[in-house]
Structure 1
Amino acid sequence: MTQIDELWRYDGKRVVVTGCASGIGEHVARQVTEFGAEVVGLDLRRPALQLKEFHEVDLSDPASIDRAIAAIEGPIDSLFNVAGVSSGIG
């Protein structure tokens, strides 16, 4: 492994990815998994990708967010907050 490759590794890290079931969030979850991360996924629906941990969450509902946060056990090393809804523009 080259030195630059080592900079992108997530070995031994726990990463939370919102919007993990589709779009950018799905690709981020897949990529950091390939880079060695233990991914905790958050989304309205379960992703096709097998993750270490998944919690259903509706990011428009503060109580749902609180429940999801409480359900995550252990430390979090990184957060990729990429959940979103297409507005249909473009």
Structure 2
Amino acid sequence: MKVLKRNDRLGLRLEFEPEAERKYRVVVDEEVVYATNVDSSALSEYADIAAERDKPFAERRKREADFKLGQALQNERVARTSGNAAKTSGGKGGRGGV
């Protein structure tokens, strides 16, 4: 048996057994859930199961990415307005002028 793909976090494996009746097997939590002789079919099933089992993690990653984007936009705005305020202070007589 040869493991073609593995995702330990999701408990998912794609195995190849050349001597078996069905050569490609998708294994979830040590249980064979799909077996076929067609490699593209096995890869497609592996990808579908991985996407389904990864859904909660993907939602969390999206929320974190959105939060970081919001922080970056806010930091950019603060940096832009702070730069403008620094330009107006100074000159003869100080900030208020003469």
TM-score range with shorter-chain normalisation?
Answer: under 0.3
Structure with the bigger percentage of helix: 2
TM-score, L = length of structure 2: 0.24
Between structure 1 and structure 2, the one with the greater Rg is 2
